[in-house]
Amino acid sequence: MTYELAMFPLSSVLFPGAGLPLHVFEERYRALMTRCLEADGEFGVVLIERGSEVGGGDQRVDVGTVARIANVAELDGGRLLVVATGIRRVRVEGWLSDDPYPRAIVEDLPDDDTPCSDTVLAGAEGSLRRLRSLLSELGDVPALPHSLRISGDSAEVGWQLCDMAPLVSLDLQRLLVAEGLLARMELLDELCAAMAGDVIGLLSGEGTA
C-alpha cells in the first residue's frame, strides 16, 4: 500500500534503529517538522546522490528510511534541534512537489526473511572491527572497544553493524537496499574486507606516490 510521506533528503544514510540528529534551519524543513509534530512525528530520509542538502535541485535515491521524531529543542531564529530514530525502510514510488517541503508517494519495504546464521553475523562483525582498527592507525575513526557487545535480535544487530561501518555513502546505501539480513551481512563483510585491503596498502606505503 502506498502513502504520502514528508521527506528530508540528506547527504547521509539512515538505518532502521539508528539515531538521527538534525539542525533544521531552512524554512521548508521547519514547516516539515511542524507538520510532522502535528501528526505522527514520522518523515522519510533519503540519500542525496548528487547535489546539496540546501536549496533543492538535488538528485535522490529511491530507497530510504522512515524516521520518527524523539525530541525537539527550539533555538533562536526559529531554528530547531531535532533527534529522530530510524524505524523502517521505504521505497519511493514517485516524488511530489517540494512546495512547501519535499514529499513523496512511498511504500513500506519489508526485509527478506532468509535466515542469517550466527557465523555470518560474526564474520561481518569481525571484518568491521578489523577495518575500524586499521583506520584508527590512520587517525580516521576510533577502533571498536573489545569490550563492546552488540545486543538485540539478529536484525537489530545487523543494522547496528551497518551503522558503525566507516564506508562511503553509496556503499552504505547498498547495505540499506540489500534484500534481507543475510545478503546485507555478506555485503558488509565484502565491503569492509575490500576497504581493509586498501588501508593495509596505505599503511605499508604501497598506496602512496
CB-CB contact of 173 with 48 (8 Å): no
Q: What is the pTM of this model?
A: 0.90
| Continuous H helices in 54-180 | 118-138, 154-164, 169-177
Amino acid at 69: I
13-36 in b/e form (b: 16+ CB < 10 A) is bbbbbbebebebeeeebbebbeeb
What is the rounded (10 degree) CA torsion for 12, 25, 91, 20?
50
pLDDT tens-digit series, residues 126-163: 999 999 999 999 888 999 998 999 989 999 999 999 99
CATH value of 2-108 in 2.30.130.40, 2.102.10.10, 3.10.620.30, 1.20.120.450:
2.30.130.40
Rounded distance between C-alpha atoms, residue 69 and residue 76, angstroms: 20
pLDDT tens-digit series, residues 83-100: 999 999 999 999 998 899
Average pLDDT score over residue span 4-20: 96
Domain ranges of the chain: 2-108, 118-204
